[in-house]
Amino acid sequence: MSKSALGRGLGALLSGGGTKPAPAEPQPAAPAVAPGTTVQRVPVSRIQPSPLQPRKDFTPESLAELAESIRQQGIVQPLIVRVVAGNFELIAGERRWRAAQLAGLTEVPVVERTATDLEVLELALIENLQRENLNPIEEAVGYTQLGTQFSLTQDEIATRVGRSRASVANALRLLKLPAVAQTAVRDDRLSVGHAKVLLGIADPRSQLTAFDRVLADRLSVRQTEELAARLVAPQTAPKPSSTAPIPAGRDMFVVDVENRLRERFAAKVGLRYRAGRGSVEIRFANDDELNRVLDLMGVTID
């Protein structure tokens, strides 16, 4: 299977050659497939989910709704499978397979294809990303699989799934969160915006403290930024004593603004000002610090 075929998604897998079999038992709706595609009906018991499927969360409510639709209309889109050890392993359609069992079906329509492990994972990611089925942690885990299991770089991953490298990198950063925070993102109790702010807190204990506060007090992203700045500031840029002498030749106003900027960004900040002109320099030691500063400034890199 070619890379370009994967890029076209599920349609590429449904457009293979072959001769249509004789019609099976009547169904409420005929499977929607490309002309010439071979569709066969197989027992649901012979189908198994793929261990490469990045999607792990299937909400009972959505499955129940799909099961009811299947009872009324049948399975409109056949499942895509490959043969593994004499059984059928899902390439695409696990949600339909689960819902079909809830609906009481004993057989489902499938299209059989040949695909490598890499192609299966790529296709599963592409399909789920296109349909926005993955939560942010599942997406990050899928990218990690491509990187570790198939030795792909972030640039290669981005190209294969149709994302920018920055999007892939930002997704992977979520896996640096504590396990409890990752679970909260997965369950939609913590937004990605909140998570980015938490990632800017280097100290694990402070990070967990901030996480607990965010959930307990239902802080907004802006409030979380302010909390993070207060937690980080003592570690990176202690507030000067109000009695500390101002360096010779420096304007008190400039020093005050510089100190305020240091508190805001929890980083080393240099302010140069003269007669209404000047510059602001914000220093960072690593990518995480840069990302935290950009988040505080409301700058998103896609």
Tell me which of 119, 134, 149 is where a domain ends.
134
| 220 within some domain | no
| Residue 121, domain CATH | 3.90.1530.30
Tell me which of 81, 112, 134 is where a domain ends.
134
Task: Dig out the tokens for 124 from the structure.
Answer: 């599963």
| 14 within some domain | yes
| 249 within some domain | yes
| 246 within some domain | yes
| 302 within some domain | no
Which stretches of the chain are DSSP H helices?
3-7, 10-13, 60-73, 94-102, 117-130, 136-149, 154-161, 165-173, 179-186, 192-199, 204-217, 221-236, 252-265, 287-296
Of 53-57, 128-132, 201-205, 280-284, the range with the lowest mean pLDDT is 128-132
| 262 within some domain | yes
Active site residue 139: no
Q: Which domain holds residue 104?
A: 3-134
| 192 within some domain | no
- What is the dihedral sign for C-alpha 140, 143, 147, 153? negative
Say yes or no: 17 and 129 in one domain: yes
How long is the chain?
Answer: 302
Mean pLDDT score of the chain, rounded to an integer? 78
Question: What is the tens place of the pLDDT at every residue in 209-257?
Answer: 999 999 999 999 999 988 888 887 655 544 454 444 545 555 666 777 7
**Under 8 Å between Cβ of 202 and 235:** yes
In the chain, the number of structural domains is: 2
Residue tagged active-site, from 89, 94, 138, 289: 94
- Quote the CA–CA distance of 95 and 27 in Å, as a whole number: 19
If DSSP states are collapsed to H, E and C, what string results for 44-73?
Answer: HHHEECCCCCCCCCCCHHHHHHHHHHHHHH
pLDDT higher than threshold 60 for residue 200 = yes
| pTM score | 0.54
Question: What is the tens place of the pLDDT at every residue in 71-102?
Answer: 888 888 888 899 988 889 998 888 889 999 99
Which pLDDT value is given to residue 162?
82
| 56 within some domain | yes
Tell me which of 83, 102, 134 is where a domain ends.
134
